[in-house]
Amino acid sequence: MGPRHRHCLASMLLAAAVLTSACNDASVSVGADAGDATPAITPGPGDAPGPEDEPAPQTQQHPDIIEARLTRSGDSWSLDATISSPYDTPERYADAFRAVGPDGTVLGVRELTHDHANEQPFTRTLTNLVIPAGTRQVTVEARDLQFGWGGATVTLDVPADPEPTPTQETAGEVVITEDDSGRAVAFDDHTQATLRLRPSAGQWSEPKVAGTSIQLAERMFLVDPGYREWEILVAGPGSSTISSASDPCPGAEDPPCGAPSRLFEVTIDVA
């Protein structure tokens, strides 16, 4: 091979070496760039949030009292309560409501024996509710068959008793009972008065009158009213005393049952 041919061959080999080096550098560069890139992840159908991933709504556990009203009925009260229990089913429902005093005393309960799914909200009445004298408020609450008492409540003010309209008794008639024992009562010749003894402390003896200013006339009843009663008749001016004693266990030996006897005495002064 001549010098010219050798020179051409060397040039070709050099060119091949340079080309190979350039390709290798390109490969390293591409690989580095690929390693630096963060591949994008496309969520699959199973990765999308579904209903089972959402928090389940909480079921109402207690009925709510949404309205209530007290109505006087003689010596007792009627309580109307409106209850909301939209979850009612035959298996679980609002099964009672009650009235509670300020100190937590349960004053009355109305039981409910079935659901009211087709009547929401519904109103029911608790009758013959006795509210102690001096009670200013009552709270109405409802009960769930499964979870017990709870839910929204309503607190009511107890209406005050109206001022009495003057009657024969409040206008001038006097009624004396065993609770008046020890008192002195002033009469005039126009006073209308009654002595009334109740058997709460036992059977009372026949009242005795010491003095001449009054007399007693027993009133008779066709139906036993639960007490004995005498009309007090004014006979003239002066002072008289009415007395009686109770026997806690009439007909038995003394002391019959450990209950004490009770003395009753009232002084009547007639002007």
Q: pLDDT tens, 49-94?
A: 555 555 555 689 999 999 999 998 877 899 999 999 999 999 999 9
Query: 109 has which bridge partners?
Result: 98
How much of the chain, in percent, has pLDDT values that exceed 90? Answer: 48
What structural domains does the chain harbor?
Answer: 64-157 (2.60.40.2060), 168-270 (2.60.40.2020)
Give the contacts of 135 (CB within 8 A, at least 6 positions apart). Answer: 101, 102, 158
26, 192, 195, 238 from 215: Cα distances, Å: 137, 12, 11, 12
Higher pLDDT residue, 257 or 105?
105
pTM of the predicted model over 0.75 = no
Taking only the tens place, the pLDDT of each residue in 94-120 is 999 999 999 999 999 999 999 999 999
Tell me the pLDDT of the chain averaged across its residues.
79
Tokens 């003010």 locate to: 157
Give CA separation, 98 vs 4, 67, 86, 153, 173, in Å. Answer: 121, 13, 19, 10, 41
Structural contact between residues 135 and 104, judged by C-beta atoms closer than 8 angstroms: no
Inter-residue contact 178 to 261 (CB < 8 Å): no
Q: How confident is the model at residue 255 (pLDDT cuts 50, 70, 90)?
A: very low
Three-state SS at 167:
coil
Is the CB of residue 268 less than 8 Å from the CB of residue 240? yes
Q: Tens of pLDDT along 175-212?
A: 999 888 889 988 887 888 999 998 765 678 899 999 99
Per the model's pLDDT, the better-predicted residue between 26 and 66 turns out to be 66
